[in-house]
Amino acid sequence: MSQHLPKDDQPPAAAGMRKGLTSYGDEGFSLFLRKAFIKGAGYTDAALDRPVIGIASTGSAYNPCHGNAPALLEALKRGIMLAGGLPMEFPTISLHESFASPTSMYLRNLMAMDTEEMVRAQPMDAVVLIGGCDKTVPAQLMGAASAGLPAVMLITGSMLTGSHRSVRVGACTDCRRYWARFRAQDVDEQEIAQVNDQLVASVGTCSVMGTASTMACISEALGMTVPGGASPPAVTADRMRVAEESGRIAVQAARQRLTIDRILTPHAFENAMRVLLAIGGSTNAIVHLTAMAGRMGLEIDLQALDRMGRETPVLLDLKPSGDHYMEDFHHAGGMATLLRELKPLLHLDALTVTGRTLGEELQAARPAFSQDVVRPFGDPIYPQGGIAVLRGNLAPGGAIIKQSAASPALMEHEGRAVVFEDAGDLAARIDDPDLDVRADDVLVLKRIGPKGHPGMPEAGALPMPMKLARQGVKDMLRISDGRMSGTAFGTVVLHVTPEAAVGGPLAWVRNGDRIRLSVSKRELSLLVTAEELAARQQAAPVVEPSAERGYRKLFLENVTQADKGVDFAFLVPKSTGQRIPDFK
Ligand code: FES
């Protein structure tokens, strides 16, 4: 047994079915009643005396990214029972990117609340969280962090890639690539329908380094999955073995009371940030990591993250920053291969759900072999971390750019603003043949931030205006207070904070203003004087969006800005004052 665990692994007095009794004013009666009901489902006293492992199950007909949930559940329950535990599956909200309106991000905090409260309310000694699609993993980790029990993250795994006319394709970088070609009339209606059949070749999460793959890698880097838990595709035997092993580890964590606060430490978050930069991961992960750290009373320091990025190259050659797909990463050894290259930059003392440290797990991993998906540290695919943090009078609270997926020619750029006031304005005018726009202009989209278009949609990668797309223009500098999909690419500045809807400077940008981006200087400037901006503000003050009732009201009244993780303020505990990374 690991030296890092408490010697006393006896179950606490209130464990298993005795935990969290329903309030009837008589504890004996409460337990008697609970057992009577569960016995109605055929359980014996012997089964009910075992450590109870809750399974937060997110299988849903509306979520094909979790389409392997039945097989995962079977393997996971096998692992729990072989280790002497009692699996208890329960449903929570499930979110798929394409089946959640207005956006899955709007519902992430609701899913986190659902997860937290059901883990807290029901008797269990540990929980296994089955998640995969973009917002599910952060929601579950946020909820589990607040609930405080031992927890293990079981990733559903990536989809397989398909083939269109002998070209390998996968969601969703290729979805965007083909759609852009269709808009440019380079692909006809028949071909776009054919490629639609091939982009998603099986159940599972998007096959590139989008948000789902990023959060899978981050979960393993945090120590929240079993070793090798990030990369196996959804429909493989390796994925089922990960599920069985997750069951065994959950029972062990329950017996050893290895609570989540011992895993989600500042060192674990620093490791996750290194991995995010080195995999060319999704910009969304910064928001999610900030929210997850916030649940532990920790603050992500964006400036320090940027400094970290300057010494952390992109090593993973996966779309959209590189060429390969998740299944190739798995064949290349998955996270063990990547973490080995990053070893000098990692905190190897960080504890994982196995009860062993990251360093111990790396030592125990299969030996390295020759492969071409994870580059050596000295020969990266991009010399710096994938994400740079920008500041300037247009984004006093910061903004970010995924530099590894941007056009080098636009990284130092000054141009004329072409402004869209909101998503509706964009939809109405972007394809207008009379739109006054040139290839060297800067497209600005307002009011798609956390409050402006509740849920901060992934609309930041604005499409090329039709008339420019047909001239062959593939990229322009684009700026917004929204997010973009991890599968997207281009020179796109995101998460401008504060957002336009709460009166950030973005609200006052006008057509024809000059905007300057300098990624080398980390600068995002609106070349308009402070006096002029103040005058514009006074002439048309911003009225923040509001709602009469329901979840929308809760959301609008409590959601924080991007630099705070877009969490609900009332779900975040008092800060410990500790900032990560802790760069001295
Ligand atoms: Fe679920 Fe991409 S839509 S991971």
What CATH number labels 387-545?
Answer: 3.50.30.80
pTM value > 0.85 = yes
Pick the residue whose CA is nearest to atom 2 on ligand 1.
Answer: 206
Q: Which letter does DSSP use for residue 507 in this model?
A: G
pLDDT at residue 173 in the model: 86
Phi/psi of residue 417, nearest 5 degrees: -75, 135
Question: Which pLDDT belongs to residue 13?
Answer: 61
For residue range 454-482, list pLDDT tens digits in order: 989 999 999 999 999 999 999 999 999 99
Query: How many angstroms separate the alpha carbon of residue 181 from the centre of ligand 1?
Result: 22
| Residue 151 host element (H or E) | strand 151-155
Residue 583: what pLDDT? 67
Does 66 contact ligand 1 (Cβ within 6 A)? no
210 Cβ closer than 6 Å to some ligand 1 atom: yes
Ligand 1 proximity of 495 Cβ (cutoff 6 Å):
no
Q: How far is CA 425 from CA 68, 102, 488, 493, in A?
A: 40, 17, 22, 19
Could you check whether 16-160+202-264+313-364 and 387-545 share the same CATH topology?
Answer: no
134 lines ligand 1 (CB under 6 A): yes
Q: Which atom of ligand 1 is nearest to the CA of 487?
A: 2
CA distance 186 to 184: 5
Distance from the alpha carbon of residue 133 to the mean position of ligand 1, in angstroms: 5
- The tens digit of pLDDT for each residue in 46-86 reads 999 999 999 999 999 999 999 999 999 999 999 999 999 99
The values of phi and psi at residue 463, to 5°, are -65, 155
Is there an atom of ligand 1 within 6 Å of 216 CB? no
CA-97 nearest atom, ligand 1? 3
The CA distance from 92 to 114, in Å, is 6
Closest CA to 134 of 98, 177, 90: 98
* Per-residue pLDDT tens over the stretch 514-556: 999 999 999 999 999 999 999 999 998 999 999 999 999 999 9
Reported as type and span, the H/E element at residue 138 is: helix 136-147
Residue nearest atom 3 in ligand 1 by C-alpha distance = 97
Q: Is the CB of 212 under 6 A from ligand 1?
A: yes
Mean pLDDT of the chain, nearest integer? 94
- The total of other beta-carbon atoms located within 10 Å of residue 86's CB is 23
CA–CA separation, 483 and 288 (whole Å) = 12
Which atom belonging to ligand 1 lies closest to the Cα atom of 205? Answer: 4
Write out the DSSP string of 110-132: HHHHHHHHHHHHS--SEEEEEE-
**331: CA distance to ligand 1 center in Å?**
21
Residue 584 confidence (pLDDT): 56
Radius of gyration of the chain (CA): 24
pLDDT, tens digit, 9 for 90 and up, residues 274-328: 999 999 999 999 999 999 999 999 999 998 999 999 999 999 999 887 899 999 9
Minimum-distance ligand 1 atom for the alpha carbon of 171? 2
User: What would the CATH number be for the domain defined by 16-160+202-264+313-364?
Assistant: 3.40.50
Cα–Cα distance, 357 to 347 (Å, whole number): 9
With the most atoms of ligand 1 within 8 angstroms of its CB, the residue from 60, 66, 68, 97 to mutate is: 97
Handedness of CA 217, 279, 352, 249 (dihedral sign): positive
Tokens of 195: 């490629």
Is 135 touching ligand 1 by the criterion CB < 6 Å?
no
Query: Domain locations in the chain?
Result: 16-160+202-264+313-364, 162-198, 387-545
What was the pLDDT predicted at 223?
98
Q: How far apart are CA 428 and CA 410, in angstroms?
A: 26
For residue 136, the CA-to-ligand 1 centroid distance in Å is 10
